[in-house]
Structure 1
Amino acid sequence: MKAPLGVILAGGLARRMGGGDKGLLSLGGQSILARVIDRLEPQVAGLAINANGDAERFDGFGLPVLPDSIDGFVGPLAGVLAGLDWAAEQGADSIVTAAADTPFFPADLVPQLQLAGEGMEHPLVLAATPDPEKGQVRHPTFGLWPVALRDDLRAALEGGLRKVVLWTDRHGGREAVFPVGRIDPFFNVNTPEDLARAEEMV
């Protein structure tokens, strides 16, 4: 199975951290974003960062920076669309997304997403973890997205859709369920308290 391209979603406003880029915060001596890159790069055929504003702040990473093509910070689906448009230019079939503030995601994220999408005409899969109360929780910033559905996604966003799972459910999206061990692999840094907890995990 062909490796997809990877897109790191760094387009959030980071309000609970006081603004700025959460991915550029230091964690255990390197930025959170550097940790995400180190984890995702071996799993994909190429990598880009989805972010808005001045792209120069990411110059040190040597990766293409893709701004949202839909205005107004409409959420992660706009970053997914930017990634799909970039992938189409590269002649790729799909992308896998990861959030820039989630440094401990699974090292086998991509193969497990691909496995869950086997047999689908256009594999569309979100990462999920078991939850004792809800059965499972989906993580909409971690997914496998087919380039073939990019125009449908663009139309949905232009029509006002914002919720990831509403769109993935519409297209028969599946889940790849990842175990939660000593730490939650999809633990993300939203607050200063989260950053302190992440330091302990490192």
Structure 2
Amino acid sequence: MILAGGRATRMGGGDKPLLQLGRTTMLGRITACLDPQAEPLAINANGDPARFAEYGLPVLPDSLPDHPGPLAGILAAMDWAAGIGADRVVTVAGDTPFVPGDLVSRLAAAAGPRGLAIAASRNADGSHDHPVIGLWPVRLRSDLRARLLAGNRRVRALTDAHKAARAEWSALPHDPFRNVNTPEDLAAARSALD
């Protein structure tokens, strides 16, 4: 599930995943990377799904009102996965256009005692978690829904409670999980393709 439901306030609004990056969009890069790793793919986004029509993927909104953040997208991913008979689902932020080609296999290999794994990157400053990018056992969805309904929107609280393992990639020379949040980030991402 590609989480594309953010409001992109630092980018001036709109759909960050639809911004041009090289010959395609960020979403195009992410789907091209994930397609050989996992199937089927879907997009989590609120609003008119027609804006993603060219990708030919299901577009699933949050199941909870008021856009409660990335955990709502993860819950939508878990609900969707359960509906198609899957026991786990991988989520990727729609503004991380450089996800690695071995993302799914390494998350699966690293899965902790409860089946949960999140992505991390390491540079000279240490290890940095990217908990929105992870492998989620569908059986955690009741707990996640209860947490959200109680007002707990912290991804870290969920991953810590369920003893998430970490799959780690090198962030050198560039972090494969860097987000494109601002116009400056987008310019840097475009430069990285040159």
Indicate the TM-score class for this superposition, using the shorter chain for normalisation. Answer: over 0.9
- Residues 1:67 and 2:58 aligned together: no
Q: Map Cα deviations across residues 48-91 of structure 1 (whole Å, 9 max, x no partner).
A: 00000111101110000010011112111100000100100100
Unmatched segments (≥5 aa) in structure 1: 1-6
User: Counterpart of 2:88?
Assistant: 94
1:113 aligned to 107, 110, 132, which one?
Answer: 107
- 2 CA distance for matches of 1:113 and 1:152? 21
Matching residue of 1:165: 156
Unaligned runs of 5+ in 2: none
Q: Distance in 1 between matches of 2:159 and 2:54?
A: 34
Q: Does 1:40 align with 2:31?
A: no
Match of 2:77 in 1: 83
| Corresponding residue number in structure 2 for 1:176 | 167
Question: Residues of 1 paired with 2:11 and 2:91: CA distance?
Answer: 22
1:101-156 per-position Cα deviation (integer Å, ceiling 9, x unaligned): 111111100111011116x2x311110112444x3111022000000111111011
Find out whether 1:129 has 2:121 as its counterpart: yes
Output the TM-score relative to the length of structure 1: 0.92
Separation of aligned partners in 2, 1:28 and 1:117: 33
Q: What's the CA shift for 1:171?
A: 1.1
1:4 equivalent in structure 2: none
- The one-letter amino acid paired with 1:157 is L
Distance in 2 (CA, whole Å) between partners of 1:10 and 1:167 is: 20
**Number of residue-to-residue matches in the alignment:** 193
- How large is the Cα RMSD of the aligned pairs? 1.1
Contact 2:123/2:170 (8 A) holds in 1: no
Q: Percent identity?
A: 54
Distance 2:122 2:171 in 1: 7
Paired AA for residue 43 in structure 1: Q
Indicate the residue corresponding to 2:190 in structure 1.
Answer: 199
Residue identity in the other structure for 2:10: R
Give matches, 1:22-33, under 5 Å. Answer: 22-33=16-27
